[in-house]
Amino acid sequence: MTGEWLDIGWIDEIPLRGSRVVQVDGGDDIALFRTGDGQVFALRDRCPHQHGRLSQGIVHGATVTCPLHNWRIALASGEAQGEDRGCTPTVPVKLSGGRVLLCRASTLRAAA
Amino acid sequence: MKHDPIEPPAADAREHLIVIGNGMAGCRAVEELLARDPARYRVTIIGAEPLVNYNRIMLSPVLAGEKSFEDIVINDAGWYADNGITLLSGDPVAAIDRAARTVTTRSGLTLAYDRLLIATGSDPFVIPVPGHDLPGVVSFRDMRDVEAMLAAAARGGSAVVIGGGLLGLEAAHGLSLRGMRVTVLHLMPTLMERQLDEAAAWLLKSALEARGQTVLTGADTAAILGDGRVEAVRLKDGTEIAADLVVMAVGIRPAVALARAAGLDVGRGIRVDDHMVTSDPAVLAVGECVEHEGQVYGLVAPLWDMCRALADGLVGTPSGYRPAPTATKLKVAGLDVFSAGDFAVGDGAEDIVLRDASRGIYKRVVVRDDRVVGAVLYGDTADGNWYFDLLKRGESVAPFRDALIFGQAFAAESAPADPRAAVAALSDGAEICGCNGVSKGKVLACIDGGAHGLDAVRAGCKASASCGACTGTVEALLAWRLDGAVETGPKTLCRCTSFGHDDVRREIVAQGMRSIPEVMQRLHWSTPDGCASCRPALNYYLLCALPGDYVDDQQSRFVNERLHANIQKDGTYSVVPRMWGGITSPRELRAIADVVEKYDAPMVKVTGGQRLDIFGIRKEDLPAVWADLNAAGMVSGHAYGKALRTVKTCVGSEWCRFGTQDSTGLGVRIERATWGSWMPHKFKIAVSGCPRNCAEATIKDFGMVCVDSGYELHVGGNGGIKVRATDLLCKVATEREAIEMCAAFIQLYREEARYLERTAPWIERVGLAYVQSRLLPDADARAELAQRFWFSQQFTQDDPWAARAAGAEREHHAPMARFQPQEEMA
Ligand code: SRM
Ligand SMILES: Cc1cc2nc3c(=O)[nH]c(=O)nc-3n(C[C@H](O)[C@H](O)[C@H](O)COP(=O)(O)OP(=O)(O)OC[C@H]3O[C@@H](n4cnc5c(N)ncnc54)[C@H](O)[C@@H]3O)c2cc1C
Ligand code: SF4
Ligand code: FES
C-alpha cells in the first residue's frame, strides 16, 4: 500500500454511534468512531486518564465516554471535557466515496 | 459512416460554441452567456432527450400530479429560435475528436466547434444485483422515467423504491399519491443520512409510515426477482417484497464516458479549473458532470454559480467559481424538511436543539465560534433560509444567540428579552401548557398554593408534565412569582432533559413510546442523541416496557453489556460462566481449565459469588472462549450486567446436619427461572438452608432463609459500598409460593426502581410498607406482577454467548484492519 492515505474499509462497517479499532503492530490501536450524524473520527485508543480503551465507550454527540471512569473525550480534538484535563492524540481521517481513509504517516507513527 | 463536418453559413464568421447536453446547467450557461454578450458566439445545443430544456427538479411534482410537463419547461422552442440557437434534440453525441475539433452524433452528424461545452449531467447508479435489467425496473432521472412510472402506477399494485434519499423519497411520495402500495428500502439505518441527523430522520420515517408507506432501513437488496418482468425484491436477510415496479434511486454518477473517451482529464467527474475549463483549453464543462477541487455536485445551486463563472470566462472577464455551502429541502407536500451546511458536531461546535412534540417540530442549529455552521429543521422550515443566510455570511450570532433557535422573528428583536418580564406580561388566561391545557392563572394559583418547585407544579396542575416543551416558561413563572426562591426538585435523569427518571418512565408507558429517538423527541431532549447516562437508562426503560418487542440498542449499553464480559484496566476482559446455584461438575471444571490453558489466561479465581472468573481474555478471543464453554454446557453468567447475577446457595438439607429444606435445589431452580433478566441494577439472590445463613441471604437483593415451617423471604439487602441488612418481607410455606413472591418482587423492582438504583436504596426511598402493600394483601395483583415477569423472561433466556460464538455481531470483536509497519516499510 502506498500513498498518503490508508484505505481501512467501508464506513458502515463501523456501527452507528459506535467504534471499531485498527490494530497497528508494535503500537497502540487506533479507534475509529462513527457518530450519530455519520461523521468519522480517529483517535489513539487510549484514554488520557488511565489508558482506558476509548473504542469501548459510549458515543454521544461528538464525544465518547471512557468505559473505565467515565471521562468524556471530544472526538475531534481528543481533549477531555468538563473538569477533567488531558488529551489523547487524534489521527487524521477522511471519507471518500464511503471508504474510510486514515492518514498513513500518523498511523505508522502510532507504532513508533 | 462519417459525414464531412457541416460548414457554418459563410456569413457567420463568429466562433462556434457547441453545448453537449440540453439540461439544466447546459442551458443556464447559454442563458448567462446571452445575458453578457448575445452576439459573440454562434450556439448549437445537442441533447440526448427528445425535448426542450425543462426543470429536472420539478419531475417530482410531475410524478405527484401537481404539475404537468408544460408547467416545468424552462425554455420552449421559441427561445432557441429567438436567440438563433440550433437545437439538435434526441440525438446524443457519440464521440468528440479534439484534434479535429469536431463532435459526431449517434445519427452520424459531424459538427465542427471552436469551443465545446460538456454539460452531460449524471447517470443514475443502478446496483448490479441479479434482475436489475428486468422490465419494470426504472431509475428517476428524466421525463422518460417519469412516464414509465406513471404507466406502471396506472396499472396499480406495489412499488418498491430502493434508496431513501431525497430522490427515492420523492419518487415514493409520488407513487403513493398515484395509488401504489409503496415500500422504501434504505441501506443505511436512517433516511436521508447525508442531510438529516437521526432525530429528524426518525420523525420523517414516522410521518411516511403514517401516510401508509412501508420504510425498511438497514435493508440490503440481494436480487430483483421476476420471470420476464419484475415481480419481487429479495433482501440479503431473505425477506421478499412483492413489486410491480422497482425504482432505483441509490445515487448518481457524473456522466463522463464521452469526456474520458476523448482523453480529457477525468477523476470522479470531468476535472475543471475555476473557470470551468477542462484539461483542453478549447473544452469547457459545467454541471453535475464536473469535478472541481475534488468535489462533485448533485444540487443545482452550485451549478448556477458555475454557469456564471463559465460565462464570465467565455466573454473575457473571468471571475472564477468558488464552492459555497448548499442547502436541501425535501419536495414532499406537507413534510417540511430542511438541512444545510455541516450539522455534525465537531471541535468547539455546540448544538442548540428545540423540540416541540405536540407540533411535530425538531430544530437543530450547530454553532461554532458564535457562527452558524449547520442547521437541520423538521416540521417548521420557515427559518431555513434565514439560518442558511447566516451560515453563508458567517456573521457572529453572539448578540442574539440565546434566541437563535426560536427563529428570526424572536432573535431579531433588539433587546435581549428578560424571561421574567416576558411571563409577567402574559395575561392570566394565556395558555402555558398546551398538552394539559393549563393557563398562566392556574400555574400561579398552584405556585401560591405552595408548589415552590418545578416538580411540585407538575404534580399540582400538570403544567409541563407531559412533553416538557413549556418547562422554561414554568420555570420563569416560578422565578418571577417567588422572586427567585425556587426549590430545586429531585434530580433530572441527566443534563439532556428536564425530566426525572419517574416522569420519563411514566410518559413512556402513557404515550406508548417505542424507541430512544422517539422518547428524545417527545420529551424534548436538549441534545441530539443523549449522553452516556440517559441512553442506557432509556434503553432499559423501553425494554422493560416492551418485552419481546423492543429492539435493544447495543450502542446504548455500557461496554460490559455490549461484549458480555467485564472490561479490565488493561483493556482485556474477564469471563464468568454461570454455575447454577454455585454447583459445578468435573466436565465444567475441565472446560474452564482447558480455556485457561488454551487462551493463556493469567488468572482464574473463585469469586465472591460462588463461581469461577477467568481473567485476561482478549476481546478478539471472546467468541472462541464462549464457544468452548458452551460446548461444556455453560452459559453467560451475566457477571457484567445490570441483570440477575448469582444465586448463592449453601448445602442445605441434602447434606448439612442442620438443613431444613433443599436450599441448593431451590437456588438452582430460582437461578434457572430468573437468569437473563435485565434489571435497573444488578440483582443478587441467595438461599440459605437454615437461620445460620451460610449463603449470606440477608445481604442480598432477595434472600431466602429456610426454616422448618417454610421460607422466610428477605428483601433489599446490600453487601457493597454501604452494607444494608435485608428487611423481612414475609414468610411463606411452600417453595412454589417462594418462587412466585420472588418473581413478583423482581418485577415490581424492574418496573418502578430508577435505573442504577439497587433494591436497598429503592426500598429506603419507597419504604418497606409500600413494597409489602403491593405484594402481600392482593394475591391477584401479585400473580399479575409475577406473570409479567415470566412473560418477559421468555424473550431473554437466550444465551448471549452462544449467539456471539455463532458469529452474531462479529464486528464488536474483530479489528477493522491491521497494519504491520515493518512490512509496510520494507
Ligand atoms: C469478581 C468479583 C470479585 C471476586 O473475585 O470475588 C467482583 C468483581 C467486581 N465487582 Fe463485585 N464482585 C464480586 C462479588 C461482589 C459481592 C459479593 C457477592 O455478590 O456476594 C459484592 C457485595 C454484595 C452486593 O453486591 O451487595 C460486590 C459488590 C460490588 C459493588 C458494590 C455494589 C453496591 O451496591 O454497593 C460494585 C460496584 C458497583 O456495582 O457499582 C462491584 C463491582 C464489581 C466490578 C464489576 C467492578 C467493575 O465495575 O469493574 C468487579 C468486576 C471484576 C471482574 O472483571 O470480574 N461489586 N461484588 C465477584 C463476582 C461475583 C460473581 O460471581 O459474579
Ligand atoms: C427527480 C429529481 C429531483 C431533483 N430535485 C432537486 C432539488 O430539489 N434541488 C436540487 O438542487 N436539485 C435537485 N435535483 C438535481 C438537479 O436536477 C440536478 O442537479 C441538475 O439537473 C443537474 O444539471 P445538469 O445540467 O448537470 O444535468 P442534467 O439536468 O441531467 O442535464 C444533462 C443533460 O445532458 C444530456 N446528455 C447526457 N449525455 C449526452 C450526450 N452524450 N449527448 C447529448 N446530451 C447528453 C442528458 O440527457 C440531460 O438532458 C433533482 C433531480 C431529479 C432527477
Ligand atoms: S472490591 Fe473493588 S477492586 Fe475488588 S473486585 Fe470489587 S470493585 Fe474491584
Ligand atoms: S481511563 Fe478513561 S476515564 Fe479512567
Same domain, B773 and B691: yes
What is the atom index within ligand 1 of the atom nearest the CA of B717? 26
Same domain, B584 and B679: yes
Considering only the beta carbons, identify the residue of A32, A53, A58 that sits closest to B571: A53
State the alpha helices, DSSP H only, in B334-416. 384-393, 408-411
State phi, psi for B794 to the nearest 5 degrees: -65, -20
Q: Cβ of B498: how many Cβ atoms within 10 Å?
A: 22
Same domain, B269 and B141: no
Which amino acid would we find at residue B389?
A: D
pTM assigned to the model: 0.68
Same domain, B751 and B688: yes
Is B722 a member of any domain?
yes
Is B490 a member of any domain?
no
Q: Would you state the cell numbers that stand for residue B306, as one nine-digit string? A: 458555475
State the alpha helices, DSSP H only, in B267-356. 300-314
Is B332 a member of any domain?
no
The verdict on the CB of residue A81 being under 6 Å from ligand 4 is no
| Domain end call among B517, B534, B557 | B557
User: Is the separation of the CB atoms in B691 and B658 below 8 Å?
Assistant: no
**What gap in Å lies between CA A67 and CA B568, rounded to an integer?**
10
Which amino acid would we find at residue B95?
A: A
| Domain end call among B250, B270, B304 | B250
Task: For helices B501-510 and B534-545, give the axis angle rounded to 10 degrees.
Answer: 40
User: Is the separation of the CB atoms in B531 and A12 below 8 Å?
Assistant: no
What is the atom index within ligand 4 of the atom nearest the CA of A71? 3
Same domain, B290 and B185: no
Structural domain including B541 reads: 501-557
Same domain, B704 and B599: yes
pLDDT for position B719: 92
CB contact under 8 A, A58 and B558: yes
B755-789 confidence digits (pLDDT tens): 999 999 999 999 999 999 999 999 999 999 999 99
Which positions in chain B touch A58 (Cβ < 8 Å)?
531-532, 535-536, 555-559
pLDDT for position B419: 66
B10-24 confidence digits (pLDDT tens): 567 899 999 999 999
Q: Cβ of A53: how many Cβ atoms within 10 Å?
A: 23
**What gap in Å lies between CA B373 and CA B364, rounded to an integer?**
11
What is the atom index within ligand 2 of the atom nearest the CA of B105? 42
Whether B256 shows a pLDDT value over 60: the answer reads yes
State the alpha helices, DSSP H only, in B367-453. 384-393, 408-411, 419-424, 440-448
Nearest CA in chain A to B197: A37
Is B325 a member of any domain?
no
Percent of the residues in chain B that have a pLDDT greater than 70, as a whole number: 94
Angle at A106 between CA A104 and CA A111, to 5 degrees: 100
User: Is the separation of the CB atoms in B556 and B636 below 8 Å?
Assistant: no
Whether A1 shows a pLDDT value over 50: the answer reads no
pLDDT for position B463: 84
**Structural domains of chain A ordered from first start:** 5-111 (2.102.10.10)
User: Is the separation of the CB atoms in B430 and B439 below 8 Å?
Assistant: yes
Look up the ipTM and state it: 0.73
For ligand 1, atom 24, name the residue with the nearest CA: B719
Same domain, B244 and B269: no
Residue B785 exposed, middle or buried by CB count within 10 Å (0-12, 13-18, 19+): buried
Please name the residues in contact with B323: beta carbons below 8 A apart, sequence gap of 6 or more.
Answer: B292, B293, B295, B302
Angle at B786 between CA B784 and CA B792, to 5 degrees: 105
Same domain, B618 and B738: yes
What is the atom index within ligand 2 of the atom nearest the CA of B94? 41
Is B809 a member of any domain?
no
Same domain, B597 and B695: yes
Query: Which CATH number goes with the domain that contains B181?
Result: 3.50.50.60
pLDDT for position B546: 95
Is B612 a member of any domain?
yes
What's the average model confidence in pLDDT over B687-699?
Answer: 96
Q: Cβ of A109: how many Cβ atoms within 10 Å?
A: 14
Whether B467 shows a pLDDT value over 60: the answer reads yes
Please name the residues in contact with B161: beta carbons below 8 A apart, sequence gap of 6 or more.
Answer: B168, B169, B171, B172, B175, B182, B183, B184, B185, B246, B247, B249
A34-46 confidence digits (pLDDT tens): 998 889 999 999 9
Q: For cell 453525441, what's the residue?
A: B93
**From the candidates B534, B555, B566, B818, which should be mutated to test the interface with A, based on the most A CB atoms within 10 A?**
B555
Which helix (H) or strand (E) element contains residue B643?
Answer: none
Q: For cell 422504501, what's the residue?
A: B184
pLDDT level of residue B333 (50, 70, 90 thresholds): confident
Same domain, B665 and B620: yes
Averaged confidence pLDDT in chain B: 90
B301: CA distance to ligand 2 center in Å? 12
pLDDT for position A112: 55
A81: CA distance to ligand 4 center in Å? 12
B384-419 confidence digits (pLDDT tens): 878 888 888 888 888 887 778 877 766 655 444 566
Which helix (H) or strand (E) element contains residue A64?
Answer: strand A63-65
**What gap in Å lies between CA B667 and CA B254, rounded to an integer?**
68
Same domain, B717 and B733: yes
pLDDT higher for B528 or B358? B528
Sheet with A93-96: strands ordered across: A5-10, A99-103, A93-96
pLDDT for position B2: 45
| Domain end call among B231, B250, B269 | B250
Q: How many Å is the Cα radius of gyration of chain B?
A: 35
CA distances from B71 to B22, B23, B47, B49 (A): 17, 16, 20, 18
Which helix (H) or strand (E) element contains residue A109?
Answer: helix A104-109
Same domain, B522 and B574: no
CB contact under 8 A, B816 and A14: yes
**What gap in Å lies between CA A23 and CA B757, rounded to an integer?**
38
What's the average model confidence in pLDDT over A80-95?
Answer: 90
pLDDT for position B536: 96
Query: Which CATH number goes with the domain that contains B688?
Result: 3.30.413.10
- Give chain B's domain count: 4
Strand-strand pairing, B683-688 and B644-649: parallel
Residue B293 exposed, middle or buried by CB count within 10 Å (0-12, 13-18, 19+): exposed
State phi, psi for B813 to the nearest 5 degrees: -110, -35
pLDDT higher for B33 or B810? B33
Most confident of B470-484, B590-604, B807-821: B590-604
Q: Pocket around ligand 2: residues whose beta carbon is below 6 Å from it?
A: B 20-26, 46-49, 56-57, 59-60, 92-93, 119-121, 140-141, 167, 170, 255, 258, 287-289, 298-301, 303, 331
pLDDT for position A77: 93
**In chain B, helix, strand, coil percent, each to 5?**
35, 25, 40
**What gap in Å lies between CA B286 and CA B269, rounded to an integer?**
10
Which positions in chain A touch B198 (Cβ < 8 Å)?
16, 36-37
Is B402 a member of any domain?
no
